Every structure is written in C-alpha cells, then in structure tokens.
C-alpha cells in the first residue's frame, strides 16, 4: 500500500514527526540542468507549453533533493495569455503584457481559456506518472488581484497604478476580477483532474492594501474560487498565499476556506501558531535571501522555524521563491536538516 504523501497528511490537519518540505521555484534557474534545458526552448512561454520540457523541469529538483512535493512548472501569467492578452518575457527583464483587452472580450474568452491551457494538464499527468507515490504533486494559479496587477500594469511593478485603479474604477476592477475568478477556478479544476493533489493560490502582491479593499479584492475572490472548485466536485486541498499582507493575514486565515495558509518571511511565530490553533495548517517561511546567503545563520533559522511551528500542522517552505543564484548546496543543506535525508549529485 503506497504511503500517503506527508504534504496531504498535513493538509488534512495532521501534525507529523517532521514537516514535509518543498520550495517555491525549486525548479528553474538555480539548477544548472534547468539552464541547459531552457537553452533548448524557443522562449519561456513555449517552454511552459511543452509538456515534455515542463515535466522534465518539474522533476529536476525531485531527482536532486529529497523534497516531499513537486510543483508543476508553469507560471501565473498563463491565464492572461489564455484570455487573449499578449504576454511575453523579455530576457533578463521578466514578463511584459500587451494592452488590456476589453472586458467583454475577456468575458467571451473564458469558455475557451481552459482548453488553451490543456498542455499544463498534460505536464501534470506526465509528472504524476513518474513521481513516487509518497511525494505530492502541487498545481497552482496566480490569484485574481495579483494577476490583475500584471494585466493592468503590463509588467511587474510597484503596482501603484493598479492600486489607484482599484479606487478610481472599482466596478471595472470587480469585472476583471470576476473574469479571473471564473477562469482560474476552471483552470484549477482541470489541474486537479490531471493529477494535482493540492492547489496553491499565489497572491504574491497582497501588500499595501487597506483592510476594506483587501476584503473586496483578495479575500472574496479567493473564497469564490474555492467555492467554485468545490461546486465542480473537486475536494483537492488548497494552500492560500497572501504574501506581504502583514496584519491582514489573520483576516485572510479567518475568512478563506483553505486547508493551509502559506506565510511570508515576516510572519511571526505567534501568527503561525494562531492559525494552527484555529485548525488550519501553515507553510513557510524561511527568507529566500538567507537561503542564498547561507552560513550558520541559515542553520539556526531553520531550527528556529522547526521549533516554533513543528508542534502543529506545518509544511516547511520559503517566504518566497528560490532566488536564481542560490547555491544548490544551500538548498541541499536545508532539506537535509528538515528531513534527515541527503541530496543526490546530478550531472548537469
Ligand atoms: O518581476 C515580476 O513581478 C515578474 C516575476 C516573474 C513571473 N514569472 C517569471 C518572472 C520573471 C522572473 O522570475 O525572473 C518567469 C519565471 N517563472 C518561472 C520561472 C522559473 C524560475 O524561477 O527560474 C521563471 C524564470 C524563467 C526563465 O527566465 O527561464 C516558473 C514559476 N513561476 C511561478 C512558479 C510557482 C512557484 O513559485 O513555485 C513557477 C514554477 C517553479 C517550480 O516549478 O519550481 C510563480 C510566479 N510567476 C510569477 C510570479 C509573480 C511574483 C514573483 O515572481 O515574485 C509568481 C508567484 C511568486 O513567485 O510569488 C511571475
């Protein structure tokens, strides 16, 4: 009988002898074998839509490190692309998006959007077929507000224009968020039906929002996505990630029916324990810059996180994704400290 993945046991509320571990951006540029593979793709979008390459990228960290979970190699900006907005990635710069399509065109594009992302479903199927049964497979999407900020700004930004838009055009923003709630829910249902055993919602830009605005453009869309996924008959557990939400993480944890709240680097020990006491699991929150820096401070911080949150349902992760120039030895060292298992050398 295959062992239930540690990640899923924690998401069902169990406290384990040691937390499962995985890292955001564990695949990708920090691995030399990814850089070699990536060099063979036409561009990043083509890479994401190539199930063979994306499955290989997803599995690369799983061969090197004793991670307890894999996350599908995709990106949060595939939804705007599937809705008809131009999306491309400037080498060394990051994403760029074309003009925001008219809301009517976005609404009309919802029905066809999930089929346009079918290749991500094939990536999930390929990974599931190869991954050991005791290791979980995570699907994900960007949350509506975070994705909307890219659609409105046309790139990664300080999001001031997007936050002004929320005040100056509340109805238009609500219309855009409605489109994203529907398209994202359908995308996550497809991922679950393709093998994803947990679903993560990345609200990567949940900072600097007033409490009433946070309720309207973060909490409510997340709750609606979970409700829509459940209404489709999918009971796959959710991890919600309101990054940089600060004190409003408590609002989020109390209102959104996710099974785990992912915490960012600034989360206090007390915040995590409060959420665990309220019956949710937590995930996080090692500083990705400390993982990059290494040294004795890295080991002591890992021990501190295990100590402060290990007596409740806890998934060990970072506060944000692995930085591209993070030494693989640092990743191996942390994962060994959490699991007691050594990494494997891999020929690039
Ligand atoms: O600057 C910005 O705001 C846009 C950032 C950006 C995005 N995709 C991007 C870039 C450029 C870059 O990373 O250099 C472009 C992007 N997305 C990804 C990669 C691979 C890598 O990090 O080296 C890359 C770089 C690709 C390359 O240059 O070869 C893949 C990706 N994006 C994402 C994920 C999910 C995860 O984080 O684990 C994953 C899968 C990682 C895995 O399978 O291990 C999610 C994602 N994409 C994105 C965001 C927005 C926020 C953020 O990145 O901080 C987020 C959510 C987040 O990380 O909080 C948008």
What is the structure's pLDDT at 264?
98
Number of domains in the chain: 1
Report whether residue 195 contacts ligand 1, using a CB cutoff of 6 Å. no
Q: Which residue has its alpha carbon closest to ligand 1 atom 55? A: 76
Q: How far is the CA of 16 from the centre of ligand 1 (A)?
A: 30
Q: Do the domain assignments include residue 23?
A: yes
Q: What is the pTM of this model?
A: 0.97
Domain range for 75: 6-339
Q: Give the tokens for residue 60.
A: 């690369």
pLDDT of residue 345: 85
Q: What is the pLDDT, as a whole number, of residue 211? A: 98
Is 157 annotated to bind a ligand? Reply is no
By CB atoms closer than 10 A (0-12, 13-18, 19+), residue 246 is middle
* 37 assigned to some structural domain: yes
Mean pLDDT of all residues in 116-132: 98
Model confidence at 347: pLDDT above 80? no
Residue 92 confidence (pLDDT)? 85
Q: What is the mean pLDDT of residues 296-310?
A: 98
Nearest to 196 by CA among 256, 236, 146, 162: 236
Beta bridge partners of 201: 141, 240
Residue 91 pLDDT: 86
Mean pLDDT over 115-138 rounds to: 98
Mutation probe of ligand 1 site: the residue of 75, 89, 93, 206 with most atoms within 8 A of C-beta: 75
| Residue 346, domain member (yes or no) | no
CATH number reported for the structural domain that contains residue 236 in this entry: 3.20.20.210
What is the average per-residue pLDDT within 225-254? 98
For 180, other C-beta atoms within 10 Å of its C-beta total: 27
pLDDT in tens, 254-268: 999 999 999 999 999
Does a structural domain hold residue 267? yes
> How far is it, in rounded angstroms, from Cα 74 to Cα 211?
31
Q: Is 150 a residue of the active site?
A: yes
Does 345 fall in a domain?
no
pLDDT of residue 338: 98
- Range 52-75 average pLDDT: 98
* 1 within domain boundaries: no
Return the structure tokens found at 228.
């829509």
Q: Is residue 348 part of a domain?
A: no
Mean pLDDT of 105-115: 98
What torsion do the CA atoms of 183, 235, 198, 134 make, to the nearest 10 degrees?
A: -150
Query: Does residue 347 belong to any structural domain of this protein?
Result: no
């Amino acid at each position: 009988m295959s062992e239930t993945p540690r990640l899923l046991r924690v998401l069902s509320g169990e406290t384990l002898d040691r937390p499962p571990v995985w890292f955001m951006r564990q695949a990708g540029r920090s691995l030399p074998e990814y850089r070699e593979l990536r060099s063979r793709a036409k561009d990043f979008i083509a890479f994401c839509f190539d199930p063979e390459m994306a499955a290989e990228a997803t599995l690369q960290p799983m061969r090197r490190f004793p991670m307890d979970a894999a996350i599908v190699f995709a990106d949060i900006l595939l939804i705007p692309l599937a809705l008809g907005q131009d999306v491309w990635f400037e080498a060394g710069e990051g994403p760029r998006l074309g003009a925001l399509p008219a809301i009517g065109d976005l609404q009309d594009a919802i029905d066809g959007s999930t089929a346009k992302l079918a290749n991500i479903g094939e990536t999930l199927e390929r990974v599931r077929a190869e991954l050991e049964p005791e290791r979980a497979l995570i699907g994900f999407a960007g949350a509506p507000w975070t994705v909307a900020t890219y659609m409105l700004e046309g790139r990664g930004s300080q999001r001031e224009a997007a936050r002004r838009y929320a005040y100056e055009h509340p109805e238009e923003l609500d219309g855009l968020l409605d489109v994203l709630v529907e398209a994202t829910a359908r995308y996550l249902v497809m991922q679950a039906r393709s093998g994803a055993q947990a679903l993560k919602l990345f609200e990567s830009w949940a900072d600097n929002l007033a409490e009433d605005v946070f309720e309207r453009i973060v909490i409510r869309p997340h709750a609606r996505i979970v409700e829509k996924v459940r209404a489709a008959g999918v009971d796959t557990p959710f991890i919600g990630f309101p990054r940089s939400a600060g004190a409003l993480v408590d609002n989020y944890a109390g209102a959104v029916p996710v099974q785990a709240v992912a915490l960012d680097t600034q989360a206090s020990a007390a915040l995590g324990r409060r959420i665990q006491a309220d019956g949710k699991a937590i995930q996080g929150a090692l500083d990705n810059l400390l993982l990059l820096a290494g040294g004795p401070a890295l080991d002591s911080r890992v021990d501190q996180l295990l100590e402060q949150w290990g007596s409740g349902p806890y998934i060990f992760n970072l506060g944000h994704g692995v930085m591209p120039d993070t030494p693989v030895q640092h990743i191996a060292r942390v994962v060994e400290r959490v699991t007691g298992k050594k990494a494997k050398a891999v020929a690039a």
